Structure 1
Amino acid sequence: MQRHTYDFGVIGNCAFTAHIHKDTNISWMCWPRFDSSFIFGGLLDQEKGGEFSVKPLESEMQSKQYYVENTNILCTEVTSETGRYKVTDFAPRFYQTDRYYRPLMMIRKIERLEGSPRVVVKCSPRGDYGNTVPEPSMGSNHIRFLGLEAHVRLTTNISLNYVINEDSFVLNETKYMVLTYGPPLEASLEETVDLFLSKTKNYWRNWVKTAAIVNFYQREAIRSALILKIHQYEDTGAIIAAATTSLPESPGSTRNWDYRYCWMRDTFYTLNAFNNIGHFEESEKYFHYILNTTIEESDRYQPLYGISGQKKLIEKEIPLAGYQGNQPVRIGNDAYTHIQNDVYGQVLISLLPLYEDKRIIFTERFDSSELIIKTLDMIEKTFDETDAGLWEFRNLSQHHCYTYLFHWAGSSAAVKIAKVIGDRAMGEKAAKLKERSAKMIEKCYVPSKKAYAQAKGVDRMDASTLQLIMMNYLDGNTQAAKDHLIGLEKELHAKDGLFYRYKHQDDFGEPETTFLICAFWYVEALACVGRLDEAIKYFENILSYSNHVGLLSEDVKESDGSMWGNFPQAYSHVGLLNAATRIARKLDKPDFL
């Protein structure tokens, strides 16, 4: 059985991302925002999705795709009967006039490498999820696409007639294409592209140099850090779970969700990964996002919000063919209506570094004690509620162990924050909630399994409780932690480190694929309890489930290692980065020292 992989590299600049197939087609790109309609959407519908490709005239072709080292610049080399050429794709990003320059500008540079390749360039954008087909109109050195919400323009030194008519031509000199949304490129084409390419390359390499990335599988960790960075919507500070929608968790499952929004939970994990590598800029920006998003919330926080803080993310199905025919195709996500009470703890832990880390000067951001108190009040107010849990069960409400773990951890963070700002009342309130949360966690313990269950009153296992060990609720050196891990392994370990979230039936039946973040949690838990050799072995195996440029999906099928779910998944890359960091620290300083 052939393994299914996502044959795409992804570029971005913290304003937009683009999925580029190994055949050079931009198969997914949303403008002007992550959550906007696609402008190229062949990923979900090859007929209605449009196309932006640089393919050889011959149908037979071979390609090789790779990133320019330590950057988010992608190269695709194509070999055909008539020759070989390279397409370099990037979204400009660099520091300029005291701010980051990150325009809605997609740049492609095409270079001949060997022979006299004949190529066909197609550029046919779409609007309104494929319902709008713009009219191309030629200018002097550009093509305007009329009928979209904003001015979309392709500036190029390729014959405009060749592009509009999709005629082939011999690639005998370097060609440039700049696609813009809104303000067009008015400067010199060749000089600007080469300048922007050089500046963007320098930006990403300097960003990597300032990251404290561990030596353990450092190249893979660097790629994860780079891909996580472009999931940040810098304008507001939001961080999205994935840049795609409706890629199925398994074929025919109908578990096709839109992940182009900011989940409180996913953001906590992402910020934790950034903090681990010494990058705090993302945390500071998220601080402003969360403050602006929740300032009017009086009763509870939603599990997710739009990237500029929208509260209503109404889920609907749209008439597209779907990825490999998998329907429905959804935009929006009804999870915004769910009760998921772990979010309060995640908000508190996300804010902790701004108070506790001495590398951040306290006066660099204004005090947010009101937000801390309000969040603690929400934990207290909702404490006895059942909720949907982190897996967002649509028809199952329980007292989830994971929720109380984050009540415990969030209250612990608030105790530390209270000490920093000298607020005794806050500290006392947080300490009481921490103690109360621990009592609820203990009610999830199943003596017959020597392990903690998914929720109070049930005995089924859930991979989220691996976090009891990782977050040091259970000290890794204790027998309790080791027993708990064994209990989870017996029910949820698939093979070679792959791990199921849970095995019981949910709203859509029994899960068919393993969840990649759970595999990395498992690796971390193994390292915590001293089973370091196993942790390393399984970590190395999990890396084999990445695609050709080191990107990870949301889900992996146990039987054949196929990639499924939205892609690339921020969660999965957070898992890789944090697991690598955990193992590296254990290797540097074993528990017995």
Structure 2
Amino acid sequence: MSKHTYDYGLIGNCSYQAHIHKDTTIEWMCWPRFDSSFIFGKMLDNDKGGGFSILPSGEIKESKQYYLENTNILCTEITSEEGRYRVTDFAPRFHQYDRYFKPLMLIRKVEPLEGRPRVKVSCEPVGDYGNLKPMQYEASNHIEYLGLAKELRLTTNFSLSYIVQDNYIVLNETKYLALTYGAPLEAPLVSTCETFLDRTKRYWRGWVKNLSVSNFHQADINRSALVLKIHQYEDTGAIIAAGTTSLPEAPGSGRNWDYRYCWMRDAYYTLTAFNNIGHFEELERYFNYIVNISVKSRERFQPLYGITGHEMLTEQTLDLKGYLGNQPVRVGNQAYTHVQNDVYGQILAALLPLYVDRRFINVERSDSLHLVYDILKQIDQLMNEPDAGLWEFRTLSQYHCYTYLFHWTGAKAAFKIGKMFGDEKIVRLAEKLVKESTEKIEACFDASRGVYTQAIGSKNLDASNLQLIMMGYLENGSEATQKHLKALEAELKSSEGLFYRYKHADDFGEPETTFLICAFWHVEALTCAGRIDEAIKAFENLLTYGNHLGLLSEDVDAKTGSQWGNFPQAYSHVGLVNAAYRISRKLDKPNFL
């Protein structure tokens, strides 16, 4: 089987994302929000999906795609028999009037580079997941697409007639295309596009300049940080797992899920990454998201919510062909109904820096200590309840070691918060829960193998238990750490250095592909265990599993190196950032430039 990669670049501005193929086609873009219907969805259905392309006359002889350094601005250079041209794509984002300007606007700048290439501009938006095709009509300098919830407009200095009639146009000067949803562009096209391009470039480079990262693989960390930033829906603070749906974990597996929602667990790891690289704005926005959810989630938290905090994420199957024919195509996610009790500890651990880091003004948080106590009480009530675990088993409920680890971690975080604010009620309950969760974790220990198993009474091993090392439950470099790590490696590590989540059969059979973040967890565990040279080698090996832009998928086929799962996956880029941070702290180098 040949190696499969996702030949897309990603752009975004914290309001929306767009996936752009190496041939210039925008094959996935949801408006007005991450979880809205796509307006371009060719990725999931070539016929019904719609797309936005700037293709040459004749075959593409060469395609080169790259980001402007330290930005989320994507360039695609196309070479055909007639010449060469470049498409620069970006979602405007910059400071304006003391806030961020991040409109529902996509700008495409098209420049001739060599010869006299002819190009065909095709813009075919759809609505309602491909069931609605808007009416289009030409105005003086734009094309309007009518029938969606709001007006969609393409403003351009290309010939409108040539676009509408599907004709090729000689590209002998720079052209611009601005696609807008709702508010149209009612300003000079060329100067506005150039101004927005310049200001967006300066914004992203300023954002990267404020990262606190080591010399260790700095460019890779910067790219991952840029990817993670545009996975936050800034309006509410929610952080999505990925901007796509139904990209299969393995071809023909049926493991096709919608990841355009905010998982409490994923958000914890993402915020840890932002904290590690010195960016705190994202954490403060997420705090507000959690506070708003907690008001209506007094009984228990769901594992995931919509980006506006909505709870009902009813799973549906769409009549679409699917990525490379992989069906079903799902929207919504049944996991919102699951019992996944690790989320409580993850919320507490994610919010810990806001309470104890002196860079934050703690008095702002003291009035929300009731939230900390309420979450602790929920952990107390759920200590003896089995759950679906972090891998979201649909038909298997167990007493998962990973869940108890995060009861332990959350209680430890709450203890620190209680001590900081002198809240004895929090301190006493946290101490009780640390003790009880420790007993539960130890009940997962298999003494004959020296390893902690997936759940109490289970013999199965689980890569999530690498976290026992990373979270400090097992002491760095101890004999117990070494034994536990080696046992997990023996069963779950592939010969290529990748890691399976687990090997036993679940609702869909045995997993066929490895889970990339598990391999990054392995790198962190190696570092904690003092096997630093192995950690560096393993980390650098994992970098080879990115696509042409260094973007990482959720899953990797160990034998072929193929990328699978939703893409790019925030989880995987989080793994890269956190593993690099862990290594950099161990290396005898300055942590900061």
> Aligned residue for 1:285?
285
Q: Deviations over 1:254-274 (max 9, x none)?
A: 000000000000000000000
**Whole-angstrom distance in 1 between the partners of 2:40 and 2:151:** 15
- Mapping 1:387-536, distance limit 5 Å: 387-536=387-536
- Pairwise CA distance, 1:297: 1.5
The TM-score, its normalising length taken from structure 2, stands at 0.99
**Whole-angstrom distance in 2 between the partners of 1:305 and 1:194:** 38
Report the residue type matching 1:483 in the other structure: K
For 1:143, what is the secondary structure of its paired residue? strand
**Whole-angstrom distance in 1 between the partners of 2:370 and 2:527:** 38
Where structure 1 has 5 or more consecutive residues not aligned to the other structure, the ranges are none
For 1:449, what is the secondary structure of its paired residue? coil
**Whole-angstrom distance in 2 between the partners of 1:313 and 1:22:** 33
Does structure 2 conserve the Cα–Cα contact (< 8 Å) formed by 1:143 and 1:155?
yes
- Pairwise CA distance, 1:146: 1.0
**Whole-angstrom distance in 2 between the partners of 1:539 and 1:172:** 46
Does structure 1 conserve the Cα–Cα contact (< 8 Å) formed by 2:499 and 2:518?
yes
> Aligned residue for 1:328?
328
> Aligned residue for 2:210?
210
Does structure 1 conserve the Cα–Cα contact (< 8 Å) formed by 2:355 and 2:365?
no
- Pairwise CA distance, 1:366: 5.7
> Aligned residue for 2:51?
51
Does structure 2 conserve the Cα–Cα contact (< 8 Å) formed by 1:497 and 1:539?
no
Q: Deviations over 1:390-431 (max 9, x none)?
A: 000001100000000000000000000001111011111111
For 2:202, what is the secondary structure of its paired residue? helix
Does structure 2 conserve the Cα–Cα contact (< 8 Å) formed by 1:497 and 1:523?
no
- Pairwise CA distance, 1:383: 0.7
- Pairwise CA distance, 1:60: 3.7
Over the aligned positions, Cα root-mean-square deviation in angstroms equals 0.9
> Aligned residue for 2:155?
155
| Mapped pair 1:238 → 2:208 | no
**Whole-angstrom distance in 1 between the partners of 2:339 and 2:316:** 20
Does structure 2 conserve the Cα–Cα contact (< 8 Å) formed by 1:120 and 1:169?
yes
**Whole-angstrom distance in 1 between the partners of 2:246 and 2:170:** 38
- Mapping 1:332-411, distance limit 5 Å: 332-365=332-365, 367-411=367-411
Does structure 2 conserve the Cα–Cα contact (< 8 Å) formed by 1:501 and 1:514?
yes
For 1:122, what is the secondary structure of its paired residue? strand
- Pairwise CA distance, 1:447: 0.8
**Whole-angstrom distance in 1 between the partners of 2:19 and 2:367:** 40
| Mapped pair 1:118 → 2:148 | no
**Whole-angstrom distance in 2 between the partners of 1:366 and 1:450:** 43
- Mapping 1:170-185, distance limit 5 Å: 170-185=170-185
For 1:324, what is the secondary structure of its paired residue? coil
- Pairwise CA distance, 1:567: 0.1
Report the residue type matching 1:43 in the other structure: M
Does structure 2 conserve the Cα–Cα contact (< 8 Å) formed by 1:496 and 1:538?
no
> Aligned residue for 2:226?
226
**Whole-angstrom distance in 1 between the partners of 2:508 and 2:171:** 51
- Pairwise CA distance, 1:365: 4.7
- Pairwise CA distance, 1:66: 0.2
- Pairwise CA distance, 1:364: 4.3
- Pairwise CA distance, 1:368: 1.0
> Aligned residue for 2:198?
198
> Aligned residue for 1:310?
310
**Whole-angstrom distance in 2 between the partners of 1:167 and 1:589:** 58
For 1:325, what is the secondary structure of its paired residue? coil
- Pairwise CA distance, 1:117: 0.3
**Whole-angstrom distance in 1 between the partners of 2:97 and 2:388:** 46
**Whole-angstrom distance in 1 between the partners of 2:89 and 2:313:** 32
**Whole-angstrom distance in 1 between the partners of 2:350 and 2:368:** 13
- Pairwise CA distance, 1:63: 0.6
- Pairwise CA distance, 1:331: 0.1
> Aligned residue for 2:262?
262
**Cα 1:589–1:483 shift into 2, 3 Å:** farther
Report the residue type matching 2:474 in the other structure: L
- Pairwise CA distance, 1:343: 0.3
Does structure 1 conserve the Cα–Cα contact (< 8 Å) formed by 2:366 and 2:421?
no
The TM-score, its normalising length taken from structure 1, stands at 0.99
Report the residue type matching 2:281 in the other structure: E
For 1:428, what is the secondary structure of its paired residue? helix
- Pairwise CA distance, 1:126: 0.4
**Whole-angstrom distance in 2 between the partners of 1:180 and 1:152:** 6
- Pairwise CA distance, 1:514: 0.2
**Whole-angstrom distance in 2 between the partners of 1:435 and 1:379:** 13
| Mapped pair 1:79 → 2:79 | yes
Number of residue pairs aligned between Structure 1 and Structure 2:
590
- Pairwise CA distance, 1:363: 3.4
Where structure 2 has 5 or more consecutive residues not aligned to the other structure, the ranges are none
**Whole-angstrom distance in 2 between the partners of 1:588 and 1:473:** 25
- Pairwise CA distance, 1:497: 2.1
Percent identical among aligned pairs is 65
**Whole-angstrom distance in 2 between the partners of 1:510 and 1:395:** 14
> Aligned residue for 1:30?
30
Does structure 2 conserve the Cα–Cα contact (< 8 Å) formed by 1:301 and 1:343?
yes
Report the residue type matching 1:48 in the other structure: K
Q: Deviations over 1:541-588 (max 9, x none)?
A: 110000000100000001100000000000000000000111111113
- Mapping 1:93-132, distance limit 5 Å: 93-132=93-132
